[in-house]
Amino acid sequence: MAYAIAIDGPAGAGKSTIAKRVAKELNYIYVDTGAMYRAMAIYFMDNGIDCNSEEQIQSAVDGVDIRIEYADGVQQVILNGSNVTARLREEAVGRMASATSGYGCVRAKLLELQRNLAETSNVIMDGRDIGTTVLPDAQTKIYLTASSDARAKRRYDELVEKNGNADYEEIKADIEKRDYQDMHRTISPLKQADDAVLLDTSDMNIDEVVAAVKKLIR
């Protein structure tokens, strides 16, 4: 029987970093939902679908199959049997994904594909609504969070290391704004699932969080 781990939480909590590490250590599949939206976008582009036509999008989604596989420990995204991993980060693909991700039919199709993955493989998924909407029956659910100060500090340090400068107060304000938007959106708002374990990582490093998550899974 396949085992599913759902990790939800606010922006900057480190969900993807933790999920990828845990997936690698447990030999699970990390389901990159963003990559799946981009693979869907590639299908639309290759088939001349107008991103402004909901009718065309609706007609096209049923022809899409997306799987996630691993080769030598590296994630591979398979679209209708073809490996499209190398194309996922193209600017045009990002624009198409952004333009089409809001359609209800696109979200519904990807929800179906994500659940299919969870039924056939041991998976870890992270996001805003995995434990509440995408995988409500996941065996382990974790709500990963940290104070806005801690999340802003992590982002600030990351940007300073990369670019040499950053504005801490601006970063913190942006995080708090995103929290509010995520928690108050109409479709699948961010919230802790009733049966999820709260894990506050404000005073923890990555290794400590990974160890805590693995302990919860065990």
Q: Is 166 annotated as a binding residue?
A: no
Query: Among all chains, which residue has been given the structure tokens 């959106």?
Result: 185
Q: What's the CA gap between 148 and 169, in Å, rounded?
A: 11
Q: Is 120 among the annotated ligand-binding positions?
A: no
Q: Tell whether 10 is in a known binding site.
A: yes
Q: How many helices and strands, by DSSP H and E, does the chain display?
A: 8, 8
Please tell me whether 15 is known to bind a ligand.
yes
**84 CB contacts (<8 Å, ≥6 apart)?**
39, 42, 77, 78
* 136 annotated to a ligand binding site: no
11 in a known ligand binding site: yes
Structure tokens belonging to residue 76: 């591979």
Is there a binding annotation on residue 17?
yes
List phi, psi (to 5°) of 84: -110, 15
Give CA torsion, residues 158, 90, 38, 7, to 10 deg. Answer: -10
Q: What is the DSSP string of 68-134?
A: EEEETTEEEEEETTEE-GGGTT-HHHHHHHHHHTT-HHHHHHHHHHHHHHHHHS-EEEEESSIIIII
Residues contributing to the annotated binding site = 9-17
Residues contributing to the annotated binding site for ATP = 9-17
